[in-house]
Structure 1
Amino acid sequence: MNRRLLMIAACIALGACALGPDGKPPAMPQPAHYGAKPQADASVTAEGASQRFVAGAAPVPEWWKLYRSDALNVLVDEGLRASPNLAAADKGLVAAREQLRAQVGSSLLPQIDAGGQATRQRGFGIPQGGPPTVLYNLFVGQIQAQYTFDLFGAARYANASLAAQVDQQAFQLDAARRALAANIVTGAIGAAALHAQIDVTERLVALARDDAHDAERRYALGSASRADMLNAQQNAASLASQLPGLRAQWLATRHALAVLLGRTPDRAPDDLDLASLTVPPDVPVVLPSELLQTRPDIQAADSALKGAAAQVGVATAQLFPSLSISASMGKGGFDWPTALSGAGALWSVGASLSQPLFHGGALLAQRRAAIATYDAAVEQYKQTVLAAFQNVANTLASLETDSEALAFADTASNAARDASSDAAARVRLGAIPPRAARGSEQQYLNARLSTIRASSARMSDTAALFQAMGSPVASAERMSKGGESTIK
């Protein structure tokens, strides 16, 4: 046991009196680009708009305003203001900061207390010198002070660990705030897209039913076969069967959006007009080296790493001596006049020094556990960084393919719309029967469904990319200084 303590003390002396790791995050690879292939400078043009990926640009704090929709801005502002989850996280952070202030004050400053005592009791008398018991009063009032010297930094390391936990909660709150904004934006886009799909599908069902009625009339007249009539009826029923699922999905999205806003589901907001949203033309792509400072989840992992390093210092400091001093002064006596006079003056002063000798190996085991926890925090930090790189890479890839899919869908939709217009004109001239125009319109509406899905996917993935970029470095630094300022 003594040999182990001497080895630990020697290592500490050689390490410039550092009782734990420095808490610096490990060096991470700095890829030239996020994905398996370099991202393009801009997406393909779709629906008349192309998005430019600005490499090295800083994250945008209120990125949802780039959609240029006042209604969307109102929803996000309401959610950030009224969300119970966000409010609970904020109150939890306030409580954590107050706990840190309490711990710092109690560990670094002396403790001074005032106390008083008034008792009446019967005790044993002097043997063979009077009655066997004596009845007397005792009055005591004094002020006591105590202070423990932080010789080896146990209190300092404990405060640093708790401050790191406070910073971690602050970064998690920022991550929750940004995630809430992204969920509100994607929820509003999803509800608007589902509403548009329902409108188009209802029109498809109406056209299919017209075809079925027309087939029934032609079958009754003998100009269509029974198979043609049944196929038309089957097509109308199949299309109609899609509507309940779409409506259920649309209502579920609206209900979820209402809860994100802090409302009850019956007060879900009205749907946005998908066409009123403008896809942001410029999207920032933070450099991989800077993403470590902008992503709140990475910053939270960094704070957890610093807290674990400080806990190693706490566990190591517990192996060394502890020095405390105490003092008290006051008045006391067996009656009030004596207690209040100079004869009743009481005082004491003392010091205590303790050195752990044998605790059944508990202190060394706690130190080994703290080191293992720190090593785990290092690996968790690495995994968080890798997951962040993957998140950005996947979102960039999705956004690029969304634009390509939307470009093809938009081209097909425009061609089908022109063909439908031509068919309608020919019907008015009597060149083709009405059912031919309905078939052309159905092709256009099916193409329109693809365009709606691709357009909403591009807008949602744009929001995901803004979210993946994190917060500006300045705001992250302000949050990380919250715990430090408390210690100071």
Structure 2
Amino acid sequence: MKAVRSVLALALLQGLIACSTVGPDYHVPASAALNKPAAQAGFAGANDPAVSIAPVPDQWWQLYNDPTLNQLVQEALVHNADLRVADANLRKAIALQNQVDAERDIDAKVGLAAKRAQEAGEQFLLTEKLPVINEGDFGISLAYQIDLFGKLKRGEEAADANTQASLAALDLARVNVAVQTVRAYVQGCSAAHEYAVAQHELDLQDQTVGIAQRLLKAGRGRDTDVIRAQAQSDLLRANMPKYQAEQDVARFRLAVMLGKAPQELAPLDCKIEPALAQALPVGDGTALLKRRPDIRQAERELAGATAKIGIATAELYPSIAIGASAGLTGVIADMPSSPTARWGFGPLLSWDIPGAGAHARLRASEAGADGALAHFDSVVLNALRETESALTTYTHDLQRNADLRSARDKAHIVAQQNAQLYKAGRSPYLTSLDATRTLANADSALAASDSQLAQDQINLFMALGGGWQNSPAVAQIHATERAADKDKAPANAE
């Protein structure tokens, strides 16, 4: 009957745990920026025909329909060194979470000791000297901590939130790797495009030099016309090394994103920036706030900071453990006779009476939660700002690009007409030269605008926060975590 009463008392004590957890229960505060109606609304610049409110695809880079780009991104998502760091941090967080979860398990200890010693007689209230003997001690002890005030529960909540924050950090690293890989590829393509434009203008100018030289030989031109034409060619030729260097730098950057040394990646076979075949999908504010990993990371950090308030509060109260022990202690020669047997069973209550330090830790935890909320709000607001800024920059650069294209087309017509008039001797060379310079400047400005437009698209995709979904690395980590939990379950059951 005594054993039954002990079990019932233990069950009753455990039943009190759920209703005695101290500290605040976590929920996203109603005052958080995430809950503001304006944060959930559509984007101000989403009415432009160049964008749509369609959902952002998980693998947004596939919208470019560029097989080479798709292959490079997939390779980077497997071999990038920054992703390996984030992956290791996540696995560390999972291990720490399992360590916290293990605190609910029964703590078992086995001890074995042997020594030859002479004990002091007075500790046994004897006045004579005791003989030298061989002493031994063997024992097994079991202990189980009763989570009466929810310290273990809050610890599990904090560890779980930390793991989820680490997972969000891995997702964020995946977004950055995808963006930087696409950016390096596009920069290489843009440099090749601008090089081709500059080379075309140089070829045209070299033709102009040839015309000037022929006219001079025919007695219809002047030396200054030839020199001016050659000077313009030299100016155009001076820009060529810059574009070649930009191609090399983009290739080196791309190699690092793929986890390779710079010289391991062959030159890119790309002549022009990849272009979207459809309006750029941006979704709305609600989808953005759910999709961006940095927002999810900040929210999980807030959850962990809230749980730490409960941990600090629980430290103000006593801790209770139920323990049992059995063993043998005595002269080794007498073991395992009944005089050497020992056992014990019962609760252990310990309480470090809270002082100024304990209350200071509680206030520090509360301040930490306030700081985490402020950081969460900051991340949300910055996500909205980045998206709106990238969106308005993209739409306005689109208009600028259209105007530059129109100007280039007109400059091309004027340059052709003036070249024909000069060749026929009906127009002075300076007029033809000015027209050629205007065309060269228009072509260069349009090529630079095409490059900037491609970067604007990447910046907008980055602000939208897609590209972390369907990660093989994350799937493998989740599978490993589930396997670890499955292996641990039978031990807990026992």
Q: Provide the TM-score with structure 2 as the length reference.
A: 0.80
In 2, Cα distance between equivalents of 1:273 and 1:440:
30
Contact 1:113–1:144 (CA under 8 A) maintained in structure 2: yes
Deviation at 1:350, TM superposition (A): 3.7
CA gap of 1:173–1:358, structure 2 versus 1, over 3 A, is: closer
Q: How many residues align?
A: 457
Counterpart residue type for residue 67 of structure 1: Y
Worse-superposed segment, 95-104 or 283-292: 283-292
In 2, Cα distance between equivalents of 1:163 and 1:382:
21
In 2, Cα distance between equivalents of 1:200 and 1:64:
26
In 2, Cα distance between equivalents of 1:124 and 1:411:
105
CA gap of 1:362–1:130, structure 2 versus 1, over 3 A, is: closer
Q: Secondary structure at the match of 1:134?
A: coil
Q: Secondary structure at the match of 2:239?
A: helix
Counterpart residue type for residue 189 of structure 2: A
CA gap of 1:313–1:307, structure 2 versus 1, over 3 A, is: same
Q: Secondary structure at the match of 1:340?
A: coil
Deviation at 1:365, TM superposition (A): 0.9
Q: Secondary structure at the match of 2:57?
A: coil
- Residue 176 in 1 paired to residue 182 in 2? no
User: What is the match of residue 63 of structure 2?
Assistant: 66
Contact 2:418–2:432 (CA under 8 A) maintained in structure 1: yes
Contact 2:143–2:324 (CA under 8 A) maintained in structure 1: yes
User: What is the match of residue 111 of structure 1?
Assistant: 107
In 2, Cα distance between equivalents of 1:164 and 1:118:
46
CA gap of 1:130–1:394, structure 2 versus 1, over 3 A, is: closer
Counterpart residue type for residue 23 of structure 2: L
Q: Percent identity?
A: 24
In 1, Cα distance between equivalents of 2:265 and 2:469:
35
**Equivalent in 22, 29, 34 of residue 26 of structure 2:** 22
**Equivalent in 133, 138, 141 of residue 138 of structure 2:** 141
Contact 2:115–2:136 (CA under 8 A) maintained in structure 1: yes
- Residue 327 in 1 paired to residue 324 in 2? yes
In 2, Cα distance between equivalents of 1:305 and 1:272:
47
Deviation at 1:369, TM superposition (A): 0.9
Counterpart residue type for residue 408 of structure 1: D
Deviation at 1:420, TM superposition (A): 5.3
- Residue 414 in 1 paired to residue 409 in 2? yes
Counterpart residue type for residue 37 of structure 2: Q
Counterpart residue type for residue 132 of structure 1: K
What does 1:133-282 align with in structure 2 at a 5 Å threshold?
133-205=130-202, 207-208=204-205, 223-224=221-222, 231-232=228-229, 234-275=231-272, 277-282=274-279
In 1, Cα distance between equivalents of 2:406 and 2:205:
24
> Unmatched 5+ residue regions in structure 2?
1-18, 490-494
What does 1:31-70 align with in structure 2 at a 5 Å threshold?
31=38, 38-43=44-49, 51-54=50-53, 57-70=54-67
In 2, Cα distance between equivalents of 1:463 and 1:128:
85
Contact 1:204–1:442 (CA under 8 A) maintained in structure 2: no
Q: Secondary structure at the match of 2:132?
A: strand
Contact 1:125–1:134 (CA under 8 A) maintained in structure 2: no
**Equivalent in 370, 373, 380 of residue 385 of structure 1:** 380
User: What is the match of residue 83 of structure 2?
Assistant: 86
User: What is the match of residue 294 of structure 1?
Assistant: 291
User: What is the match of residue 282 of structure 2?
Assistant: 285
For residues 97-121 of structure 1, the C-alpha deviation after alignment (integer angstroms, 9 at most, x for no partner) is 011111111x212211222112222
CA gap of 1:300–1:104, structure 2 versus 1, over 3 A, is: same
CA gap of 1:267–1:425, structure 2 versus 1, over 3 A, is: farther
Q: Secondary structure at the match of 2:119?
A: strand
Q: Secondary structure at the match of 2:222?
A: coil
For residues 251-271 of structure 1, the C-alpha deviation after alignment (integer angstroms, 9 at most, x for no partner) is 222211111111111123432
In 2, Cα distance between equivalents of 1:290 and 1:468:
12
Worse-superposed segment, 338-347 or 72-81: 338-347
User: What is the match of residue 5 of structure 1?
Assistant: none
Contact 1:34–1:392 (CA under 8 A) maintained in structure 2: no
For residues 137-188 of structure 1, the C-alpha deviation after alignment (integer angstroms, 9 at most, x for no partner) is 1222221112221111111111211211111111111011011101111111
Contact 1:284–1:469 (CA under 8 A) maintained in structure 2: no
Q: Provide the TM-score with structure 1 as the length reference.
A: 0.81
CA gap of 1:122–1:219, structure 2 versus 1, over 3 A, is: farther
> Unmatched 5+ residue regions in structure 1?
1-14, 44-50
Deviation at 1:16, TM superposition (A): 8.5
Deviation at 1:85, TM superposition (A): 1.0
User: What is the match of residue 73 of structure 2?
Assistant: 76
In 2, Cα distance between equivalents of 1:255 and 1:69:
20
- Residue 396 in 1 paired to residue 391 in 2? yes
In 1, Cα distance between equivalents of 2:390 and 2:189:
22
